[in-house]
Structure 1
């Protein structure tokens, strides 16, 4: 049984999360196939796939175009399998931002016309070495407004790996608890 893990990444945190989920799936007895939508070959066979995990980061209120294009172009095939969509973003790290993070996920699902079996919000990371001056200022004065987190302090992960493990195991085991977020 194979779990397909499809991801897009901008700064690398989502790829790290995808590889982590692959490890959880392997430990649960599944084979895994990872696909980065920015490096995707022309056609991907998913005949042997029983479950699909789709994950992408949110930047400027949107998930990457390559990710949304993959979901749209494979929507009918994806609907035939149990699926989990993980939306990765900083807003998900804070109680005051979770509603907005949920809106980003819902907007992406409306744009793509895809209805997954389960969804979850996952906190991302701050990786200032990838940001220019304007990105750092937006991060500091908009995204992290009022929080004592300075992008100049370096990389800061907000991903809750224990929670992510629970979400993945729940999905792989069929409990469906992922929608609780």
Structure 2
């Protein structure tokens, strides 16, 4: 079995998630191809690929443009392949944000005319050391909506790695046919 991981990352958390999933699959002796959707020089072939895991972060309600362009360009090739979307956002970190995180996926599906067979809303991370004062204020008062969060922490992961591993394992299970 060969699985392709296609990802797009802005601040690095989705890249970390893609590597985590790659390591998980390789430990199970699954052949893995990893594609950075933002790499314009990469050539992609889905020949021999049994499953595709798509992973992208959300910023300002959108997945990265290169990721959406990739999905649009390859939607017909992806259609017959079993696909899993990992949509990474801070909204997914909190119960009251899950509906908004789901909207990000719906909006992307409409823009790309492509819908994954399964999707998982994955909580992202913050890296305040990369943000200017204004971005930190938006993070604190808009994105995190004054949740109990120390803005002086330079990096904080909301990603639940155990849940992510379980969701990927479920996706990788062989399809069972109804008898």
- Quickly name the TM-score band, shorter chain normalised: over 0.9
Q: Which residue of 2 aligns with 1:179?
A: none
Shift of 1:175: 6.3
In the TM superposition, what is the alpha-carbon distance from 1:42 to its structure 2 partner?
4.6
Instruction: Report the secondary structure of 1:49's partner residue.
Output: coil
Partners of 1:9 and 1:92 lie apart in 2 by 16
User: Is there any run of 5+ residues in structure 2 with no aligned partner, and where?
Assistant: none
SS of 2:149's partner is coil
Query: What is the alpha-carbon distance in structure 2 between the residues aligned to residue 107 and residue 127 of structure 1?
Result: 26
Q: Pairwise CA RMSD of aligned residues?
A: 1.4
After superposition, the Cα gap between the structure-2 partners of 1:113 and 1:15, relative to the gap in structure 1 and judged at 3 Å, is: same
Q: Cα deviation per residue 1:78-117 (whole Å; 9 max; x = unaligned)? A: 1110000110000000001011001111111111111211
TM-score, reference length from structure 2 = 0.94
**How many residues get paired?**
176
Matched residue, 1:67: 67
SS of equivalent residue, structure 2 residue 20: helix
Q: Which residue of 1 aligns with 2:38?
A: 38
Partner of 1:131: 131
Is 1:89–2:73 an aligned residue pair? Answer: no
Partners of 1:104 and 1:16 lie apart in 2 by 21
**TM-score, L = length of structure 1:** 0.93
What is aligned with 2:158? Answer: 158
Aligned-partner Cα distance in 2 for 1:175–1:55: 22
Q: Distance in 1 between matches of 2:148 and 2:170?
A: 33
Query: What 5-or-longer segments of structure 1 have no aligned partner?
Result: 177-181
Q: 1:1-181, aligned counterparts within 5 Å?
A: 1-174=1-174
1:10 Cα deviation from its structure 2 partner: 0.6
SS in 2 for 1:148: coil
